Amino acid sequence: MVYIVDPELLLIALACYLCFFSPGWASFYLKPLLLKSSAYRVKYRQVKVCPVCDRPFNNRKKWAVRGVWEQVVYCSDKCRRRKSEQKARQTRNQNEKSRARSKND
């Protein structure tokens, strides 16, 4: 009988076995291999464009694990803060313009 096994899954199984019996050796040599495995990578790299800085950004592992990629709009916390600052600035400018119009009337 011949079994067809995915090499990455075989590597993960070997690493788990070795980590149980000799944790120091396995963690030193196999951790880089495990991190390169497709089981630990985000499989589908989706790209979105940040509305503040107009730069493309990819799906991050923490977003993929949490399942919040659909709700992510901004590329960083800095852009999220800048967006609220821009809205406040626009509102302030509109209020100043309306005050200037009311003074002229």
Higher pLDDT, 74 or 6: 74
Domains in the chain: boundaries: 1-41, 47-105
Taking the whole predicted model, whether its pTM rises above 0.75 is answered as: no
DSSP for 8-71?
HHHHHHHHHHHHHH-HHHHHHHHHHHHHHSGGGS-SS--EEE-TTT--EEEPPHHHHHHT-TTT
1-41 pLDDT, tens digit each:
666 767 777 777 777 776 666 666 656 666 665 555 555 55
